[in-house]
Structure 1
Amino acid sequence: MSLKSFGAKVFASIIHKKNQKWINNPVETQHKVLLSLLKTAGQTSFGKDHHFSEIKTHSDFVNRVPIRDYEGLRPYIDRVVEGEANVLWKGKPLYFAKTSGTTSGAKYIPLTKESMPYHISAARNAILAYVHETGIADFVDRKMIFLQGSPILEEKNGIKLGRLSGIVAHFVPAYLQKNRLPSLKTNCIEDWETKVDAIVEETVHQDMSIISGIPSWVQMYFERLVVREGKSVGDIFKNFNLFIYGGVNYEPYRAKFEQLIGRRVPSIELFPASEGFFAYQDSQKEKGLLLLLDAGIFYEFVKAEDFFNENAKRYTIGEVELGVNYVLIISTNAGLWGYNIGDTVQFVNLKPYRIVVSGRIKHFISAFGEHVIGKEVETAIEEAMRGTTIQVNEFTVAPQITPSEGLPYHEWFIEFGSEPEHLESFALKIEQSLRKQNSYYDDLIVGKVLQTLKIRKVTKGGFQNYMKSIGKLGGQNKLPRLSNDRNIASELEIIN
């Protein structure tokens, strides 16, 4: 055992013990986080406008701070972007994480000296949790690759800005720098396809142990490795033994990954966003991601079914229930207050609090009142694939409201890596799972309001072509699993 791997085990044990303090006191921890946030931001413009000095309880907070999305908070954020200090948080941000919004154009999410360390420590602690549970740490002596955005940063009114993954790249610990790939030069390539080819050339003969990134883009990297070398990724990288991912559910990709790798590789799921690092998979044995309650973020939860109702109840961590679909609301040490990030979660464990990401509050299908969510379509396709050789590269779902004949239906656009022998049988399995999960959808099928779903095969590379056509190929960009309109579907019909 090397000194570095021994040190990783010791450090993992220390972090595990430290985490138990807040894990065992979740309600008290979150209350302290809220009071600390309010005290620190009390003299900011936002704090004064919302009378932070008078807030003593969560009820006080709810009464003074409404739920907002980016547009709702934008008047304050615009002032920060213009260079004004002490607006949402004390002083000025260290960075802006620049993201693309569907309605807001470019979004500038502040990252402060208080929030930035948690983005780094959470990713580190996810790996250390794996080390602590499994006792495996030899990968720290080999090469690691993180498929991420360019680390080249712009500047706006004296504050640097870029993609979150590009910003984080500047904070990789010194002890990992020698192990980390790709090189800075390669990482700065803006064109994703050119970048992937360069990464292949740079890594193909290295001793890779950890590979990290959004599954769809890692798959693209793997496919090019296999084409170049004529053998599986597992044969190219004999010691590749840990895949780290976030952003989308891995399960629909698993069969394809195992075929490309040639074996099953353990994985760690992360739940990061520009707005904060919320959770990570802390166990290979338990379902769900550990919600980080002591990371400068105060969480509130609104039942998704009530979210668009006026005065919907905002639940705190001690009030949540298992299996309920909640919209995640955050207040953070980067100056986001009562902020709706758009993600929905469900709790799968309350001791400790573990969640699964169930979808996006804006990404659902309810053209007829069915309110089908992301978790349901992902579970349906996973169950249909189980025990088969079918591989799905990518998929999305949209309603077909005005078909050329017959009743409306849900249309599934699927790019197969390995196609089912009988497409209708595969569609039926998906249909059965979806009806079992969603009683509203089942009622619409039984009541002959909808006909059963239909699958439209997407040609190989079709989804990549679509993402390229809208300028979102690679990096941290993700394809919505489902939409309540046919905007994506219409583009796919043209491309294919």
Structure 2
Amino acid sequence: MLILNSENWIKKRNKFIDKCRICHNELLKTCSEPDAVSAQILSDCVSRNRETDFGRRHNFGQIKTLTDYRRAVPIHQYADLEPWIQQILEGKERVLTVDAPYTMLKTSGTTGSSKAIPHTAHWRYRYRGPIIYALWGAYGKYFPQLWDHPYATLDFLWERELPKDFIGKIPHQGITNREISLGKTDFTPPWYNAPWVDFTDDSSGFMERIYLRIRHFIGQNLRMLAVIQPNRLLLMVQILSDMAERLIEDVHNGELCGKPLFEPKPELSARLEKLVQKDGILLPKSVWPNLDLIACWKSKQLGLYLEQIPALFPDTKILPLLTGSTEAMVTCPVDDHPEAGILTLTQGIYEFIPHDDENPDFSEENPETLSYDQLTVGKIYNVITTQANGLYRYDIGDLYQVVGYHGRVPRLAFVRRQGVYSSFNGEKLTETQVMDAFQAALGQLGLPSVLYSCFPVWSNPPRYVLIVEAGSGWPVSSMAGLPKEFDLALGYLNSEYEARIRTGRLARSVVKQVAPGTFQDNWNAKVAQGACAPQLKHHFCQKETSLLEEIESAGLVIETFF
């Protein structure tokens, strides 16, 4: 356990605060001097790596300006860079960067199988570490009480964990999992060695780790919660409710998992018991009455979760996190703006392609791109980035909307993944994944192909509902098995979906049987009402539930299978 206000912790805290302020000020400086920063990063990415295989292939030695760079290097998808990455995995050196990656970052598999993104010490030391310090610098500027004592901030954003997966000899793990700090500018907060962050010797499950953190912070003067997905906050509420009896007993006995790790606190235990008697459950605001700030993702797709937070955490400010992906950070908060941060020009080179709903997957081989100072407020853009990890002019597949400017730098809000049809809390389902999973489920059950559609349905927890045009020839036993087989197949294709089903963040899918011709009848009705027939396309994965509601309200559902 940490010793409250110990001299050692105070030294770590003060050093941490200084780093946060410096990095925050450096990010703010880009708002008035962005051009110089971009030139430095271009030089670092190109000049530093001109003697790599990729650098020689694309004449890095001849590149002097961003215009030169755009001419020499085409826009890449992951599939374009995958052969180069495969060479790295086979042990070849100086392929994309002069320094070899010490780990491969695992993506969620949004547009297919999980990717392997090179993670070099240079990238983490010069870029990723400082931007996270800058993030905390923004929070600390407006909420300095976050540093009052060792238990003022509960950080859910990452965990210290030994890598479990390897590609050859190279670790392959998620970006939120870290084994060690690289020191100096690598993000190393004063709670780095805290038992609620360090799980290198622990195999606890997802829910148990949340309980562990609650146990450490119960009775403490918590001022800030930092989580990635806002549904984590709802899980905390659920655990406070479901495990209240266990928590009260552990506090009374000074235990965690049967081990005497804390000082027994019968008075606190009795106070918690009174709160349960009063409210029926343990409420976060009753347990932590001085909670001032919550930091989490605030995209529109998470709207239902975000709408629930004020009632559960009243009088608590909610600010956005960094946005981006495993491949690249895109925005970082620099102030107390409630929705969006600024473009992280200190992280890489960023180019933009206007998004067109009529032609969402830009078909030109190497389309013209815009710079950060050519963007229009209100417009949505595809983001192309160059990073020091060897991703050159890489299409990250994310769409961002310009909501304003901070100085000369745009303020961007994440809209959605390119090609992603649904994502309640990070599972990021694509229509292709849904289609492949449904066909696999039919094959497993020996059923013929039929017309269907998948709908995201908000509930607590949310779930996906399949409307299936199944005829009378389908046996009930097979229909009853379809939800399970669909979930298994979709979990295999999308590891994030499987994880969220397993941890209860998503409920299992539901199948609603309708008669053959239901979708066609609906299409006919819309055309009769004046809709343009060519624009009425059947989607196997829907973005919203209006069609589902129409089918249900018309009484067209024959039977429902869970």
Fold match (TM-score > 0.5)? yes
Query: Size of the alignment, in residue pairs?
Result: 416
Q: Identify which of 371, 376, 381 aligns with 1:321.
A: 376
Q: Return the match for 1:283 from 320, 335, 338.
A: 335
Indicate how the Cα distance of structure 1 residues 237 and 134 shifts in structure 2: closer, same or farther if over 3 A, else same: closer
Asked if structure 1 preserves the Cα contact closer than 8 Å seen for 2:382 and 2:398, the reply is: yes
Give the direction of change, closer, same or farther, for the CA distance of 1:9–1:44 in structure 2 (3 Å limit).
closer
- Could you say which residue in structure 2 is the equivalent of 1:151? 161
Does residue 304 of the first structure (1) align with residue 355 of the second (2)? yes
Q: CA deviation at 1:21?
A: 3.1
CA distance in 1, matches of 2:500, 2:320: 24
The structure-2 alpha-carbon separation of the partners of 1:417 and 1:362, relative to structure 1 and needing over 3 Å to count, comes to: closer
Is the counterpart of residue 128 in structure 1 residue 137 in structure 2? yes
- Distance, in Å, in 2 between the alignment partners of 1:278 and 1:152 is 27
For 1:6-31, what per-residue CA distance to the aligned partner results, in whole angstroms no more than 9, with x for missing partners? Answer: 76665555444433432211133213
Task: Please state if 1:21 is matched with 2:65.
Answer: no
Aligned counterpart for 2:95 among listed residues 87, 91, 94: 87
2:300 equivalent to 1:246: no
Residue in 2 that maps onto 1:342: 397
Residue 220 (structure 1) aligned to one of 217, 225, 235: 235
Match for 2:79: what amino acid?
E
Residue in structure 1 matching 2:86, options 60, 78, 89:
78
Could you say which residue in structure 2 is the equivalent of 1:403? none
8 Å contact from structure 2 (residues 343, 412) kept in 1: yes
- Asked whether the equivalents of residues 68 and 338 of structure 1 are also in contact (C-alpha less than 8 Å), the reply is yes
- Structure 2 CA distance, aligned partners of 1:291 and 1:259? 32
Quick one: which of 533, 541, 544 aligns to 1:486? Answer: 541
Bigger shift: residues 44-53 or 246-255: 246-255
Asked if residue 257 in structure 1 is aligned to residue 271 in structure 2, the reply is no
Offset at residue 236 of structure 1 (A): 1.4
| Letter aligned with residue 232 of structure 1 | L
Q: Does the 8 A contact of 2:158 with 2:177 survive in 1?
A: yes
What does 1:59-70 correspond to in 2, within 5 Å? 59-70=67-78
1:472 aligns with 2:499: yes
Distance 2:162 2:94 in 1: 27
**1:169 positional shift:** 6.9
Task: State the 1:489 CA deviation.
Answer: 9.6
The 3-state SS of whatever aligns with 2:350 is strand
Instruction: Judge conservation of contact 2:403–2:413 (CA < 8 Å) in 1.
Output: yes
Give the equivalent residue in structure 1 for 2:458.
414
Give the C-alpha shift of residue 470 in structure 1.
Answer: 4.5
TM-score by length of 2: 0.63
Q: Percent identity?
A: 19
Question: Contact 1:83–1:158 (CA<8 Å) still a contact in 2?
Answer: no
Q: How far off is 1:62 after superposition?
A: 2.3
Is the alpha carbon distance of 1:152 and 1:247 closer, same or farther for their aligned partners in structure 2, counting shifts above 3 Å?
A: farther
Amino acid at match of 2:238: E
User: Measured at CA, do residues 16 and 122 of structure 1 come closer, stay the same or move farther in structure 2, by a change above 3 Å?
Assistant: closer
Counterpart-to-counterpart distance in 2, 1:36 and 1:244:
32
- Report SS of the residue matched to 1:164: coil
> Structure 1 residues 268-277 or 190-199, which shifts more?
190-199
- Deviation, structure 1 residue 314: 1.0
- Structure 1 residue 45 displacement after superposition: 0.7
- Counterpart selection for 1:165 from 148, 161, 176: 176
Contact 2:456 2:542 in 1 (8 A): no
For the residue of structure 2 that corresponds to 1:181, the secondary structure is coil
- Distance of aligned partners of 1:364 and 1:324 in 2 relative to their CA distance in 1, 3 Å threshold: farther
**Displacement of 1:253 after TM fit?**
1.8
Please tell me whether the aligned partners of residues 192 and 474 of structure 1 are also in contact (alpha carbons under 8 angstroms). no
Query: For the structure 1 residues 70 and 168, does the alpha-carbon distance in structure 2 shift closer, same or farther, using more than 3 Å as the test?
Result: farther
**Corresponding letter in the other structure for 2:56:** K
Deviation at 1:488, TM superposition (A): 10
Q: 1:180–1:67: structure 2 CA closer, same or farther, 3 Å change rule?
A: farther
How far the C-alpha of 1:38 sits from its partner, in A, is 0.8
Q: Structure 1 residue 133: deviation in Å? A: 3.7
> Residue by residue, what CA displacement relative to the aligned partner does 1:206-257 show, whole Å, maximum 9, x if unpaired?
5433322221233212221133332211211234332222385554322312
Q: State the alpha-carbon separation in 2 of the partners of residues 251 and 10 from structure 1.
A: 35
- In 2, the alpha carbon distance for the partners of 1:81 and 1:196 equals 35
| Alignment partner of 1:358 is 2:415 | yes
**1:65-113 deviations in whole A, cap 9, x for unaligned?**
1212211211001111222111111131121112242554231111111
Q: String of CA shifts for 1:456-482, please: whole Å, max 9, x gaps.
A: xxxxxxx9xx97995222899998xxx
Aligned CA RMSD, in angstroms, stands at: 4.4
Q: 1:9 to 1:273 in 2, by over 3 A?
A: same
Q: CA deviation at 1:55?
A: 2.2
Q: In 2, distance between residues paired with 1:58 and 1:477?
A: 47
Kept in 2, the 8 Å contact 1:217–1:474? The answer is no
- Matching of residues 375-414 of structure 1 within 5 Å: 413-414=457-458
Listed as ranges, the matches of 1:176-255 within 5 Å are 176-177=191-192, 181-184=196-199, 188-189=202-203, 191-213=205-227, 214-229=229-244, 230-246=281-297, 248-249=299-300, 251-255=303-307
Tell me the CA shift for residue 33 of structure 1: 1.4
Gap regions ≥5 residues in structure 1: 366-373, 379-391, 399-407, 419-462
User: Structure 1 pair 133/203, CA: closer, same or farther in 2 (3 Å)?
Assistant: closer
Q: Larger Rg: 1 or 2?
A: 2
1:254-312 Cα deviation digits (max 9, x unpaired): 231222334434434221422123322221146521211122x1111111116523143
Equivalent position SS for 2:459: strand
2:53 maps to 45
Name the SS for the 2:282 alignment partner.
coil
Per-residue deviation, 1:410: 10
Normalized against structure 1, the TM-score is what? Answer: 0.71
C-alpha distance in 2 between matches for 1:495 and 1:277 = 41
> Per-residue deviation at 1:174?
5.9
Aligned counterparts of 2:157 and 2:113: Cα–Cα separation in 1: 25
C-alpha displacement at 1:344, in angstroms? 0.7
Please state which structure has a larger fraction of its residues in strand.
1
Structure 1 residue 124: Cα displacement: 2.2
- 3-state SS, counterpart of residue 284 of structure 1: coil
Counterpart-to-counterpart distance in 2, 1:416 and 1:478: 8
Q: Distance in 1 between matches of 2:158 and 2:25?
A: 31
Q: Secondary structure at the match of 2:379?
A: coil
Distance 1:397 1:140, change over 3 A: farther
Assess, with a 3 A threshold, how the Cα gap between structure 1 residues 200 and 18 changes in structure 2: closer, same or farther: closer
3-state SS of 2:398 partner: strand
* Equivalence for 1:175: 190
Q: Does 1:332 align with 2:387?
A: yes
Residue 330 of structure 1 aligns to a residue in which SS?
strand
- The 3-state SS of whatever aligns with 1:347 is strand
Contact 1:210–1:240 (8 Å) recurs in 2: yes
> 2:323 is paired with a residue of what secondary structure?
strand
